[in-house]
Amino acid sequence: MREALRQARKAARQDEVPIGAVIVHGSQIIARAWNQVETLKDATAHAEMIALTQAQGALGDWRLNECDLYVTKEPCPMCAGAIMHCRVRRVIFGCPDLKGGAAGGYWNLLQSPNLNHRSEITAGVLGEECVEVLKSFFREARARKVNGINHKKGIADTGAE
């Protein structure tokens, strides 16, 4: 989870929502990723999605049934669907997403009895640290907005665009 937190901080430095993900096969990290939605202008560029693609490439197989995914925030429904389809063995996350999480928060797609695969779930690993990374990011974003700084351009927002 510490490496996932490093990835989340990398996302924050790039003005991305600070979520990081790491995939482990055996005892080796085979994928590392952070949110890149704004950078890539791609709504599907969540840390989990990018990490899943990297892991599949590393293993040469779409089946990740011997892999564990560490992610700083509970996966959303899109990511949970991809995790389930890739057959990830276990998902370990830091902080819950009570409004939109799909690993036991609002939904639990990862353990749905009507689907062909279920992932083990471990929640709350370094949870307070994961929450603080998110809170700090949004606190700073709100402060920039209040102070008239356009966080995407790093300049004063005059409204003259």
The single residue of 16, 38, 48, 140 carrying the catalytic annotation is: 48
What string of DSSP letters covers the chain? Answer: -HHHHHHHHHHHHTTS---EEEEEETTEEEEEEE--HHHHT-TT--HHHHHHHHHHHHHTSS--TTEEEEEEEPPPHHHHHHHHHHT-SEEEEEE--TTT-TBTTS-BGGG-TTSS---EEEE-TTHHHHHHHHHHHHHHHHHHHHTTEETTTTEE--S--
- Count CB-CB contacts under 10 A for residue 48: 28
In the annotation, is 48 catalytic?
yes
Q: Active-site positions?
A: 48
